[in-house]
Structure 1
Amino acid sequence: MSSKQIIAGAILLGLSSLISRLLGVYRDHLFGIMFGTTSTGIHDIGVYLTAFRIPDFLYTVLIYGAISTAFIPIFTELITKKDDKKACDFATNITNTLILFLLICEIIIFIFTPYLTKIFAAGFTGERLDLMIKLTRIMLLSPIFFGISSIFQGIQNTYKIFLYPALAPIFYNLSIIIGTLFFAKNYGIYGLAISVCIGAFLHMLIQIPQTIKLGFKYKFSINLKNYEMKRFFKLMIPRIIGLSVDQLTLIINSNFATTLSYSATTVLPYAVNIQSLPLGLFGIAVAIASFSTFSEMAANKDHEKVSYVLKQSISNILFFVIPSAIGLYIIKYDVINLIFGGGKFTQNDIILTGDTLSFLLIGLAFQSITPILARIFYSYHDTKTPLYTAIFAILINIIAVFITTKILNLDVKGIALAISLTGIFNSIILAIALKFKLNLQNFFPFKNTIKIIISSSLMGVFVYKISPLIINQLHLNFTGLILKITNLAIPISLGIILYIIFAILLKIPEIYTLLNKCFPNSKFKI
């Protein structure tokens, strides 16, 4: 799979991610207008968002970590060796083991939920705490469906099939949106919790036909002494510890949020979701699309090719993420007003969410390349180095959160700043480790990055100065939603045009690749 094929896979994942995340934006829009940030009782959206973290913790640590770091490299190796039967047996073994392990974990969590909620939400008491316990227990069903779905995704990604894994999150978000529209009014956030479980089931269901078509044959068998299983656990355990550390960071941040202003538990997730749009659309999409390729290169010990493709991949990510961060900073209030404005979401909520988003955008470029840097280590079957960097990162996060919220009194904005600083630190340490531990050379596109920063900065300055003048000169008489869309469409359109112009003037390679993709009959060259 060449770098061009990686781009093709990333484009498919990126487009589906865009649709899924736009649905997620609409979902948050519904949350904003229906619940605001200070509603109480069964309409307390802050409790739902906090309760969601416990099943999400289970999924991220036990499922995402296992599949992304251990299953795909081993499964890819077996497929590369043309040992399809052993690969199928391995996948079946993993599926059964994961389901059994998740069931045990979920039973334990269900019993001890009252104690766990105090860890995840130290500031919750009384009605908020009781409500969180009930919601957590409902949503505990979702990790099992996500677990099976993730294995099926891993199988399809190994075969370079990205369509159905790309569609799955769309069905998930649609389920929550439908639940919000039809059940939230009468059942409040209970309707959302049930919708999460239904969405997780649909996430799994859409993966099944293609996985069977690839030759997956389910049978109930668990053999923990199998050679591949031993390798799987050897790779997985350090990654699980590392992800537990990452999740501990989220728990710490969530706990701090519950001790701050009442709206902090709502504002922070909303701002993070907006920041995640470019992060998921470009950074994570490229990392997922390239992982099986890097695993193949690492298995063949083709280190120079790994460096070359990694350099191109990082450049591709930054080409989109840096201008997105600058552009999003300029139009942040208009974006938040469009998504959340109206209903119970007040003007003060818009300003606080926008200011929180500003601090999150500081570390966006660094956070966007972290997934692909970590996956290089996983490709080489090294899960310990990302673990060590994660441990250092959590120490940075604890110190930063304490300083920004308790000493500088930045409230929820301080947590956002701490997240950015932690992301910057983690990315830099991983890059240094790649150079000295794996001896990968010349993998960071310094020259291109400087050009991208210059182009993005020029674009940002011109958009900031010119777009208000254009809007004022047009004397538009629009109101409501049309006015909100217009206030965004003008700076976004202007920003895209200017960025393309500056990118061409500075001869950034990605702009020519993009133009040739958009206009196949043309031959744009540097």
Structure 2
Amino acid sequence: MSKVAKATIGLMIVTMLSKVLGFSRELALTYVYGATGPADAYITAVSIPTILFASVATALATTFIPIFYEVDKIDGRERSIKFTNNVFNILVILSTMIAIIGFIFAEPLVKVFAMNFSGEKLILAVSFTRIMIFGLIFIALSYIMTAYLQISGNFTIPGMIGFPYNIFIIGGIILSANGNINIMAIGTLIAMSSQFLFQLPFAIKNGYRYIPYINIKDQYIKKMLGLIIPVFIGVGVNQINSIVDRSLASTLGDGFITILNSANRLNGFVVGIFIVTIASVIYPALSKLSNDDDKEKFVTSVAQSVNTVVLLIIPISAGAIVLAEPVVRIVFERGAFDVEATKMTAIALACYSIGMIAVGLREILNKVFYSLQDTKTPMINGALAMGMNIVLNIILIKYLGHAGLALATSISALICIVLLFRSLKKKIGYFGQDKILNTMVKSLIAAVCMGIVTMLTYKLLSNVLDVGFIQEAVSLFGSIGLGAIVYTGLVVLLKVEEVNIVVNMVKSKLNR
């Protein structure tokens, strides 16, 4: 088995476990607080440090990898470690400044993220924000440590940072139920710091050593800045989409931010396990191939990555659409999260799932462009998608309410991915588009058949079995299992090439 395949499987397993723990975090929040004002206030506040600096940190980490390879190739490892510390120290100063400004202007910030917050909900969100805002310093440093470890070929440790993160948040939520609700925010701040602190010893083991060095005039910093601005804008437009969605959701009343967040988490579970895993492993490899000017292997890697995403995500998307309500019921419906919240979350989940494949492919294609040191194309496409998303939000919320916000996200993502494919063709010419189209058509045919079988099986089992959690779980997982068998059988029958790649990876793993 190739190193890329091994890394992908290892990271996928770790990420899956981390995402399960992440769901436990969401369950703890919805169980204790349900779809209520305090939950909305917490979700809004916790998103502020992430959104404020995630764009900068993601842009830095994304451009850091190809520049690191360039520095390492031209000037050697000692120079590349010095470059890493230069970026590290600049980030500490920049993130600290942003955190202080965020602390001072916490109330206007909250109003930007949730324009309809007032009274107790606004006071609570501001209090949470002032506690958690300093977490963005650790978020920034965590991104750099993740990038460094990925360059070193260590993908498992970055995939494990969700373990301490989720454990600290769950602990904070549980303890906050006893009276002091601010404990939930304190636990989240500790969780944010744990992501960086967890990775640091492993980065040191892989050759990193801290040097108190800052040089903003460094030639590689200047080159990085030239690449980083388009990435920042490209990532930032996605964050603006999130701000607009949350702000508009706040106008619908209490609980709607929590409902959209819960549906998004279910989608994020899939994206995190499969898409982010593949993108994380393939990006350093693509950057190296691009730097070595190996076009043949580069094109092969692009086509295989895209087809693997298509093969995995299309059936999951179809399954999420037809089984949205039972999935939400099994995962969230307990404690303060009632039947009505389940129905509304299921509608949002189905609408988000329509664009799941586009979200996945966008993640991969953006990395393809970044590996080519082209950061402008994703920025332009992302800006167009953002504009469409905002317009569709305003139109669809009038007719479909919260479902309109989710549907707008999916439609804009689908349009964005068409634009990215067209731009990639202009950029490099042939990238295996015939193979991609072939796999996509076959996967869609298999997924439609699977969806019909899954839906009919669920209805049949639900009618036969009595009402109850265990019976619901049997009906759900029984229908999912049969659907997976149908889909797998059909893609094998249709001779989809990537099936053999996946099967060979599994066989190699079992033989070991």
User: TM-score, normalising length from structure 2?
Assistant: 0.95
| Aligned position for 2:307 | 315
CA distance in 1, matches of 2:443, 2:161: 33
Indicate conservation of the 8 Å contact 1:121/1:254, yes or no. yes
Counterpart AA for 2:438: K
SS at match of 2:178: helix
SS in 2 for 1:247: helix
Q: Which residue of 2 aligns with 1:453?
A: 444
**1:187-241 deviation line (CA, Å, top 9, x unaligned):** 23x2221121111222112211221122211121111111111111111122112
Matched residue type, 2:101: I
Q: 1:58-115 deviations in whole A, cap 9, x for unaligned?
A: 23111112112x1111112233447100110000111100001111111111111222
The question of whether the paired residues in 1 share the 8 Å contact of 2:157 and 2:199 is answered with: yes
Paired residue secondary structure (2:346):
helix
Query: 1:146·1:204 contact (CA, 8 Å) conserved in 2?
Result: yes
**Aligned pair partner of 2:242 in 231, 250, 253:** 250
* Aligned residue in 1 for 2:200: 208
Answer yes or no: is the 8 Å Cα contact 1:304–1:440 preserved in 2.
Answer: no
Cα distance in structure 1, aligned partners of 2:509 and 2:76: 42
Deviation string for 1:135-160 (max 9, x for gaps)?
Answer: 11111121111222221111110121
Q: State the match for 2:8 in structure 1.
A: 10
* Aligned position for 2:265: 273
User: Which position in structure 1 is the counterpart of 2:89?
Assistant: 96
The whole-number CA distance in structure 1 between the counterparts of 2:140 and 2:65 is 14
Q: Residue 421 of structure 2: which of 426, 431, 454 is its match? A: 431
Which stretch has the larger CA shift, 162-171 or 487-496? 487-496
Instruction: Tell me the TM-score normalized by structure 1.
Output: 0.93
Contact kept in structure 2, 1:6 and 1:286, CA below 8 Å: no
CA contact (8 A) 2:96 2:134 kept: no
2: CA distance, partners of 1:319 / 1:185: 46
Could you say what the CA RMSD is over the residues aligned between the two structures, in angstroms?
Answer: 1.9
Q: 1:234 aligns with which of 223, 226, 231?
A: 226
Aligned residue for 1:350?
Answer: 342
Q: Structure 2 CA distance, aligned partners of 1:10 and 1:517? A: 10
Q: Distance in 1 between matches of 2:473 and 2:205?
A: 44
Distance 1:81 1:171 in 2: 38
Pick one of 486, 500, 503 that aligns with 1:512: 500
Please say if 1:54 is aligned against 2:48. yes
Contact 1:46 1:263 in 2 (8 A): yes
* 1:144 is aligned to 2:137: yes
Aligned match of 2:384: 392
Moved more, 436-445 or 375-384: 436-445
Residue equivalent to 1:221:
213
Aligned to 2:289: 297
CA distance in 2, matches of 1:285, 1:201: 22
Displacement of 1:379 after TM fit?
1.1
The secondary structure found in structure 1 opposite 2:35 is coil
Distance of 2:506 and 2:86 partners within structure 1:
44
What CA distance in whole angstroms lies between the structure 2 residues aligned with 1:522 and 1:286? Answer: 21
Partner Cα separation in structure 2 for residue 226 and residue 241 of structure 1? 23
Q: Confirm or deny: 8 A CA contact 1:59 1:147 kept in the other structure.
A: yes
Count of residue pairs brought into register by the alignment:
510
Q: What's the % identity of the aligned pairs?
A: 28
Aligned partner (choices 487, 492, 507) of residue 480 of structure 2: 492
Q: 1:522 to 1:236 in 2, by over 3 A?
A: closer
User: Do the aligned residues in 1 keep the contact of 2:22 with 2:162 (CA within 8 Å)?
Assistant: no
The one-letter code sitting in structure 2 at the alignment partner of 1:507 is K
Looking at structure 1, the residues matched to 230 and 178 of structure 2 have their Cα atoms a distance apart, in angstroms, of 44
Q: After the TM superposition, which residues 14-53 of structure 1 pair with which residues of structure 2 at under 5 Å, given as runs?
A: 14-38=12-36, 40=37, 44-53=38-47
Q: Tell me, which stretches of 5 or more residues in structure 2 are unaligned?
A: none
Aligned letter for 1:272? N
Give secondary structure in 2 for the equivalent of 1:221.
coil
1:31-69 per-position Cα deviation (integer Å, ceiling 9, x unaligned): 22211113x4xxx1011111122101123111112112x
C-alpha contact 1:16 1:170 (8 A) present in aligned 2? no
Distance 1:244 1:88 in 2: 28
Aligned partner letter, 2:41 = V
Q: Which has the higher mean CA deviation after the structures are superposed, 382-391 or 514-523?
A: 514-523
Once the two structures are superposed, residues 461-512 of structure 1 have per-residue CA deviations (whole angstroms, 9 ceiling, x without a partner) of 1121133324544x4x6744x2342232211211222222112211222333
1:463 matched to 2:480: no
Question: Conserved in 2, the CA contact under 8 Å of 1:467 and 1:494?
Answer: no
2:328 to 336, 345, 357: 336
The alpha carbon displacement at 1:280 in A equals: 1.6
Check conservation: 1:261, 1:411, Cα contact below 8 A. Answer: no
> What residue identity is the alignment partner of 1:322?
I
**What is the aligned counterpart of 2:118 among 106, 125, 128?**
125
Please, which of 391, 396, 403 is the counterpart of residue 395 of structure 2?
403
CA distance in 1, matches of 2:16, 2:272: 8
Distance 1:349 1:478, change over 3 A: closer
Deviations along 1:269-311, one digit per CA (max 9) or x if unpaired, are 1101101111121112111111111111111222332222110
Q: Does the Cα contact within 8 Å between 2:54 and 2:140 map onto a contact in 1? A: no
Task: Tell me the secondary structure at the aligned position of residue 229 of structure 2.
Answer: helix
In structure 2, what is the Cα distance between the partners aligned to 1:363 and 1:5? 31
